[in-house]
């Protein structure tokens, strides 16, 4: 509880210092929203000509992307900044500062900053969710709402786990930022489309090795009743959260292992 | 002339130190190409399953389009926005005020030098991979000349656009905003992934007034033989016109920037 | 129980060996070889609560590495260390509550926000009670004069101000042990004096143990009762400051500004002085000697017998000289300094 309040203090301080540069702040948020315009408009153009993407329609594909976006943005608000900077901090020795505080280093890293630019992403994804609801006539029954909520939580945990685990490579290899960026940009781009379009080996990789597919493809498939339905609809959200939680804990362990072999070789 | 050669050589040599960075970028491009391959295959399969004819271009041609689009990416891409804004922020830009050759020419030849290096380590591997794995359509050699001219235009247009955005660093600190906007305008309006043939009429009209399609769509259309003579000549003319406009804008920007530096002291 | 307890502490680093040339680079790619570098070797000492210890040694001697093990940044390769009874790298959070750290080169403060806000964040982080917080801020204002720049963002502070702010941040939560790595480097005399006063006051009032790394002999003189000297990763000296000065601090420097030139100063050799130099431009003779073998009065009278003396100064040894003296010959230091 005290930790939560502490984060509150940190957030207030951070936001105050960011809002000094008001123009840049809103510029950041706005510019980040452009990513979706180009991506979603691209989908729209494609669907003007092509009737289906492996059985998925335009709004379903949008919904799919939205799950990815929502979970990525939420997780990134807290983790993107610190994880991207980790390589630099480890190499310069600046990471030392995070080891002499009365809290775990990962926590201090997260507390010190906030990805305000991702607020724009969340605004966009909320709007898209509303649009999809309308266009696809989605009924938000308690069951559906809970399904979505749990899948989002699981998705956020998985995105976070992947971010932390790949960033932790900073304690082992020099070019860890590249490893991180390949994961969160390159590999994650696979799930912009329903993974059924890929060969099986890629689908397996995205389900069991770097489980991005659990973030959006499986939830969306089940939600729209693609393929087999049945009891999986009720179990899946729980699986998602369980897998997410497990992976997140594992990722934090990897991070701790990394800290134990930290050399502090920068001066 | 020897000076220009030296600049290019320097860029080639420094290219070797960025080996890892280029490896990552190449890997990223290959993955993107892979995704496009599956995407188009699925889209065309879906269309044929629902008996919707796709008349603009065939699947084979689309795959070729994707392979060569990736290649164009590698030829055209540069880090000049980053380089320029760094030079400006640190103040190193002033050295270009006193050097015998101007900033523009210096940067151009540095870029060309880096591209020569890229040709060896990035472009040829992609072409090899592309041909081995994706078996793209056969291309008549007669299109090649037109393609190369359009490619040169596209290269220059992108170079000038990045130069202008880089220059804005003199006046606007958060260069990342403008750079981002440029990237996304290109991602959508250049035909880098989705060719303009698929654009609805309204968007098509917007695109034709913008320079971005000169970078990807026009060269690729010419290469695939989708552009007849008049369309090809139109592309050349549009290219020349935009290069002139952007070059003039660059010159003005650089003069204004120089004045700012001299007056304000950097 | 001592505040700091170190037993047989060692730290080795594995560094990859870089083979030269193109062929070497390829070889390295296939088969990476490492060399082991021992930064700290079998270090042992106890520091009781309330002591101010000077932690000295040349650069690269292993001081920073050993301190990093003491505060929990590095994990030792061998040996034990406890801080207030806790093993630092195993209990980072708990250890951190009881210690304060200042790295001279790097600030621990938040760059973009005013000093006062950083202190507020520290207050919440370390759960400092209101009255204690207030009292400490008053003390800092009193001795270090920080109220002048409390509202300024850290990145706009001068070096002296930043150092003072760092020091306050480290002591805000009343840690029982403070580790200071070159806290006065690059600062002017006035600020240095303030910091020394401050440290003495904190030590007197709270019995704070202070481990101080410095190259400034004045810091050592004014603050330290005990000296631990580290060289090549091992402990070269551990004892009271007085003992170090008497055993190794025998070199003095006499600078004499003379009126007229003397043909040759080689007569000094007859007095047993080998280390001297004359600068004709400033007309200054600089002589180095062992305090136990000569004295300035003797030298001056010899010089005055040959020319008129305008002015002279006697300089005590720098800590660098003492340390260097300890390495050339620990038994009988011979000053081998070349002027």
Residue range B211-266, pLDDT digits in tens: 999 999 999 999 888 888 888 899 999 999 999 999 999 888 888 887 777 766 54
Residue C30 domain-assigned (yes or no): no
Pairing status of strand C234-240 against strand C251-258: unpaired
Last residue of a domain, one of C187, C213, C246: C246
Q: Which chains touch B (3 or more CB pairs under 8 A)?
A: A
B47 touches chain A (CB under 8 A): yes
| Confidence bin at B14 (pLDDT 50/70/90) | low
Residues C194, C210 within the same domain: yes
In this structure, the answer to whether residues C104 and C218 fall within a common structural domain is yes
Check residue C323 and give its pLDDT: 67
User: What's the whole-number average pLDDT of chain C?
Assistant: 83
B27 and A182 within 8 Å at the Cβ level: the answer is: yes
Residue C81 domain boundaries? 40-246
Tell me which residue in C96, C112, C124 faces A9 most closely, judged by beta carbons.
C124
Q: Is the pLDDT of residue C176 over 50?
A: yes
pLDDT value at residue B16: 46
Query: Per-residue pLDDT tens for B93-114?
Result: 777 766 655 778 888 888 888 7
pLDDT digits (tens, 9 = 90+) for A8-65: 888 888 888 887 777 777 888 888 888 888 889 999 999 999 999 988 999 999 999 9
Q: Say if A266 falls within a structural domain.
A: no
A16 contacts on C by Cβ (under 8 Å):
113
pLDDT of amino acid A17 = 80
Residue, of C294 and C238, whose pLDDT is higher: C238
User: Is the pLDDT at B210 greater than 90, yes or no?
Assistant: yes
Res C335: pLDDT: 35
Q: Assess A57–C contact: CB distance below 8 Å, yes or no.
A: no
What pLDDT is stored for residue C25 in this prediction?
66
C226 in a structural domain: yes
The stretch C1-21 carries a mean pLDDT of 82
- pTM listed for this prediction: 0.83
**Same-domain check for residues C189 and C286:** no
Q: Has residue A267 been placed in a domain?
A: no
Contact list, A38 vs chain B (CB under 8 Å): 184-185, 187-188
Interface of B with A in 194-213 (CB under 8 A): 194, 198-200, 203
> Does residue C149 sit within a domain?
yes
CA distance A186 to chain B (A): 6
Partner chains of A (3+ C-beta pairs under 8 Å): B, C
Low-confidence ranges of chain A (pLDDT < 50): 266-267
Cβ distance C278 to C248 under 8 Å? Answer: no
Quickly count: other Cβ atoms within 10 Å of residue A137's Cβ: 7
The CA angle B118-B122-B124, to the nearest 5 degrees, is 105
Task: Chain B: give the shortest CA distance to residue A255, in Å.
Answer: 23
- Which CATH number is C295's domain given? 3.30.70.100
Query: Is residue C26 domain-resident?
Result: no
How far is Cα C93 from Cα C90, in angstroms, rounded to an integer?
A: 9
Inside any domain, residue C126: yes
Q: What is the pLDDT of residue C216?
A: 79
Residues 6+ apart with CB under 8 A from A167: A82, A83, A84, A86, A87, A176, A177, A179, A180, A255
**Residue C336 pLDDT:** 34
Mark yes or no for CB contact A103/C93 under 8 Å: yes
**Which comes out higher in pLDDT, residue B124 or B3?**
B124
Which of A32, A37, A52 lies closest to B46 in CB terms? A52
When comparing pLDDT for B75 and C264, which is higher?
Answer: B75
Residue C274 scores a pLDDT above 90: no
| Number of independent structural domains in chain C | 2
Q: Is residue A162 part of a domain?
A: yes
pLDDT in tens, B157-206: 999 999 999 888 888 777 788 888 898 999 899 999 999 999 998 898 99
| Overall number of domains in chain A | 1
- pLDDT value of position C319: 65
Do residues C169 and C294 both lie within one domain?
Answer: no
Domain that holds residue A34: 2-260
Q: What is the CATH number of the domain that holds C105?
A: 3.40.50.300
Contact B28 A186 (CB under 8 A): yes
Is residue C21 one of the residues assigned to a domain?
Answer: no
- Residue A247 inside a domain? The answer is yes
Closest CA to A69 of A131, A21, A33, A122: A122
Inspect the interface and report whether the beta carbons of B193 and A42 lie closer than 8 Å: yes
Q: Which residues of C231-244 are buried (b: 16+ CB within 10 A; e: fewer)?
A: bebbbbbbeebeeb
* Residues in chain A closer than 8 A to C97 (CB atoms): 102
Instruction: Decide if A100 and C110 are in contact by the 8 Å CB cutoff.
Output: no
Judged against a pLDDT cut of 60, whether residue C31 lies above it is answered with yes
Q: Where does the pLDDT of residue B55 fall: very low under 50, low under 70, confident under 90, or very high at 90 and above?
A: confident
Q: Is the pLDDT of residue C18 over 90?
A: no
CA angle B216, B222, B227 (to 5 degrees): 115
Name the residue facing A186 among B31, B50, B194 (closest C-beta).
Answer: B31
Which of B24, B42, B52 to mutate: most A Cβ within 10 Å? B42
Residue A130 lies in a domain: yes
pLDDT number for residue C330: 47
Q: What is the DSSP letter of A227?
A: S
Q: Are residues C129 and C173 in the same domain?
A: yes
Q: Is residue C255 located within the same domain as residue C235? A: no
* B194 vs B216: CA distance, rounded Å: 10
> By CA distance, what is A200's nearest residue in B?
B38
């Amino acid at each position: 509880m005290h930790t939560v309040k502490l984060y509150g203090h940190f957030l207030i301080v951070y936001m105050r210092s960011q809002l000094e540069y008001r123009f840049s702040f809103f510029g950041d948020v706005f510019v980040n929203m452009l990513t979706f315009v180009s991506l979603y408009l691209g989908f729209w153009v494609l669907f003007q000509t092509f009737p289906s993407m492996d059985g998925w329609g335009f709004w379903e594909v949008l919904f799919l992307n939205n799950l990815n976006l929502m979970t990525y943005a939420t997780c990134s608000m807290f983790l993107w900044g610190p994880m991207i900077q980790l390589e630099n901090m480890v190499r310069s020795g600046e990471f030392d500062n995070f080891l002499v505080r009365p809290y775990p280093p990962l926590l201090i890293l997260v507390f010190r900053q906030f990805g305000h630019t991702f607020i724009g992403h969340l605004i966009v994804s909320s709007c898209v969710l509303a649009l999809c609801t309308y266009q696809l006539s989605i009924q938000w029954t308690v069951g559906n709402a809970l399904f979505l909520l749990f899948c989002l939580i699981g998705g956020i945990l998985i995105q976070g786990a992947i971010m932390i685990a790949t960033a932790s490579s900073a304690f082992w290899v020099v070019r860890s930022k590249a490893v991180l960026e390949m994961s969160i940009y390159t590999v994650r781009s696979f799930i912009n489309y329903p993974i059924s379009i890929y060969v099986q080996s890629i689908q397996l990789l995205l389900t069991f090795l770097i489980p991005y597919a659990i973030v959006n493809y499986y939830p969306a498939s089940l939600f729209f009743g693609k393929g087999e339905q049945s009891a999986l609809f009720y179990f899946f959200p729980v699986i998602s959260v369980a897998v997410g939680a497990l992976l997140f804990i594992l990722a934090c362990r990897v991070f701790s292992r990394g800290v134990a072999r930290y050399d502090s070789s920068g001066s | 002339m020897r000076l220009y050669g030296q600049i290019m050589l320097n860029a080639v040599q420094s290219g070797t130190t960025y080996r890892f960075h280029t490896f990552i970028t190449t890997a990223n491009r290959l993955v993107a190409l892979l995704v496009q391959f599956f995407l188009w295959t699925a889209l065309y399969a879906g269309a044929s399953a629902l008996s919707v004819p796709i008349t603009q271009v065939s699947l084979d041609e689309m795959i070729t389009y994707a392979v060569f689009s990736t290649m164009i990416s590698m030829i055209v891409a540069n880090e000049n926005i980053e380089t320029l804004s760094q030079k400006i922020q640190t103040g190193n830009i002033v050295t270009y005020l006193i050097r015998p050759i101007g900033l523009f020419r210096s940067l151009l030849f540095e870029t060309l030098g880096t591209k020569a290096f890229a040709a060896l380590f990035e472009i040829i591997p992609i072409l090899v991979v592309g041909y081995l794995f994706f078996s793209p359509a056969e291309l008549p050699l007669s299109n090649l000349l037109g393609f190369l001219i359009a490619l040169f235009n596209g290269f220059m247009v992108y170079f000038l656009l990045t130069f202008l955005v880089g220059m804005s660093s003199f006046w606007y600190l958060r260069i990342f905003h403008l750079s981002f906007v440029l990237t996304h305008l290109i991602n959508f309006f250049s035909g880098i992934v989705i060719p303009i043939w698929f654009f609805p009429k309204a968007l098509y009209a917007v695109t034709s007034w913008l320079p971005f399609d000169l970078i990807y769509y026009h060269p690729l259309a010419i290469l695939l033989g989708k552009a007849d003579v008049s369309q090809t000549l139109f592309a050349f003319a549009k290219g020349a016109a935009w290069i002139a406009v952007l070059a003039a804008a660059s010159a003005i920007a650089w003069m204004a920037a120089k004045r700012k530096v001299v007056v304000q002291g950097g | 129980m001592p505040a700091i307890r170190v037993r047989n502490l060692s730290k080795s680093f594995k560094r990859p060996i870089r083979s030269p040339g193109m062929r070497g680079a390829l070889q390295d790619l296939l088969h990476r070889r490492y060399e082991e570098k021992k930064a700290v070797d079998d270090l042992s000492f106890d520091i009781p609560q309330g002591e101010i210890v000077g932690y000295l040694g040349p650069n690269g001697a292993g001081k920073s590495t050993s301190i990093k093990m003491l505060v929990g940044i590095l994990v030792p390769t061998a040996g034990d260390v406890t801080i207030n009874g806790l093993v630092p790298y195993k209990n980072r959070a708990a250890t951190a509550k009881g210690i304060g750290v200042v790295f001279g080169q790097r600030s621990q403060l938040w760059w973009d926000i005013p000093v006062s806000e950083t202190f507020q964040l520290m207050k919440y982080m370390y759960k400092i009670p209101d009255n204690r917080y207030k009292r400490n801020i008053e003390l800092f204002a009193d001795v270090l004069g920080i109220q002048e720049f409390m509202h300024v963002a850290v990145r706009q502070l001068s070096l002296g101000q930043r150092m003072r702010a760092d020091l306050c941040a480290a002591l805000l939560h009343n840690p029982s042990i403070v580790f200071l790595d070159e806290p006065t480097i690059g600062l002017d005399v006035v600020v240095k004096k303030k910091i020394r006063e401050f440290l003495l006051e904190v030590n007197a009032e709270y019995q704070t143990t202070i481990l101080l790394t410095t190259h400034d002999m004045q810091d050592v003189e004014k603050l330290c009762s005990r000296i631990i000297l580290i060289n090549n990763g091992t402990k070269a000296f551990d004892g009271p400051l007085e003992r170090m000065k008497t055993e190794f601090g025998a070199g003095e420097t006499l600078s004499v500004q003379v009126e007229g030139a003397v043909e040759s100063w080689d007569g000094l050799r007859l007095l047993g002085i080998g280390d001297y130099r004359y600068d004709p431009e400033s007309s200054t003779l600089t002589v180095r000697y062992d305090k136990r073998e000569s004295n300035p009065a003797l030298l001056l009278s010899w010089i005055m017998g040959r020319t008129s003396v305008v002015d002279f100064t006697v300089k005590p040894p720098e800590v660098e000289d003492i340390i260097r003296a300890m390495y050339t010959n620990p038994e009988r230091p011979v000053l081998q300094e070349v002027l």
